[in-house]
A and B are shown apart, each in its own frame.
Chain A
Amino acid sequence: MSIEKEFRPKIVAFCCNWCSYAGADLAGSSRLAYPADVKIIRVPCSCRVNPMFILRAFQKGADGVIMCGCHPGDCHYSTGNYYARRRMTLLFSMLDYIGVENGRTRVEWVSAAEGVKFSTTMNEFVEKIHSLGENVRLEDLRCKN
Chain B
Amino acid sequence: MQRIGVFVCHCGSNIAATVDVKKVVEMALLEPGVVHAEDYQYMCSEAGQAKILEAVKEKGLTGIVVCSCSPRMHEATFRKAAERAGVNPYMVEIANIREHCSWIHKDMEEATKKAVILARAAIAKVNLNAPLQPGESRVTKRALVIGGGIAGIQTAIDIADAGYEVDIVEKTPSIGGRMSQLDKTFPTLDCSACILTPKMVEASAHEKINIYTYSEVEKVTGFVGDFTVDIRKKARSVDMNKCTGCGVCQEKCPSKKAPSEFNRGLNTRSAIYTPFAQAIPNVPVIDRDACIKFKTGKCGLCEKVCQAGAIDYAQQDEIITEKYGAIVVATGFDTIKLDKYDEYAYSQSKDVITSLELERIMNAAGPTKGHLERLSDGKAPKEMVFIQCVGSRCADNRGKSYCSKICCMYTAKHAMLIRDKYPDVNVTVFYIDVRTPGKNFDEFYRRAVEEYGVNYIKGQVGKVAPLPNGKLLVQGADLIDNKQILKEADMVVLATAIEPDPSVRKIATMLTASIDTNNFLTEAHPKLRPVESPTAGVFLSGVCQGPKDIPETVAQAGAAAVKAIGLLAKDKLMTNPCTAKADELMCNGCSTCANVCPYGAITYEVKQVNDHGIREDRRIAVVNNALCQGCGACTVVCPSGAMDLQGFSNRQILAEVDAICR
Contact = CB atoms under 8 A, between A and B. Distances in A.
In the complex, A touching B (Cβ < 8 A): yes
Contact of B100 (A24, A57, A78): A24
B258 interface: no
Interface string A27-42: 1110111101001111
Contacts of B111: 36
B657 interface: yes
Dominant secondary structure of chain B at its interface with chain A? helix
Interface in B108-162: 110-111, 113-114, 117-118, 121
B265 interface: no
Given A50-B635, A60-B662, A41 B598 contact: no
B631 A80 contact: yes
A48 B99 contact: no
A44 interface: yes
Given A25-B99, A48-B636, A77-B598, A41 B653 contact: yes
B408 to A, nearest CB: 29
Residue among B534, B598, B630, B635 with the highest chain A CB neighbour number at 10 A: B598
Interface in B52-76: 70-73
Residue among B104, B105, B632 with the highest chain A CB neighbour number at 10 A: B104
Contact of A48 (B98, B114, B631): B631
A79 to B, nearest CB: 5
B578 interface: yes
A28 B104 contact: yes
Interface string B599-634: 000000000000000000000000000000111110
A116 interface: no
Interface string A118-145: 0100000000000000000000000100
A57 B661 CA distance: 7
A44 B661 contact: no
Interface string A2-30: 00000000101000010001101101110
B26 interface: no
A60 B70 contact: no
A44 B534 contact: no
A39 B650 contact: no
Contact of B654 (A56, A74, A79): A56
A21 B114 contact: no
Contact of A40 (B96, B113, B578, B632): B96
Interface string B362-404: 0000000000000000000000000000000000000000000
A10 B117 CA distance: 11
A48 B654 contact: no
Interface string B632-644: 1101110000000
Contacts of A34: 104
Contacts of A56: 654, 657-658
Interface string A72-104: 011011111001000100000000000000000
A47 B633 contact: yes
Contacts of B662: 60
Nearest to A16: B631
B514 interface: yes
Contacts of B648: 43-44, 48
Contact of B99 (A28, A36, A50, A87): A28
A48 B645 contact: yes
B72 A21 contact: yes
Contacts of B658: 56, 60
Interface of A: 10, 12, 17, 21-22, 24-25, 27-29, 31-34, 36, 39-45, 47-53, 56-57, 60-62, 73-74, 76-80, 83, 87, 119, 143
Given A28-B98, A50-B635, 11 more contacts: A29-B99, A31-B104, A41-B657, A44-B648, A47-B633, A48-B631, A48-B636, A62-B657, A79-B633, A83-B596, A83-B637
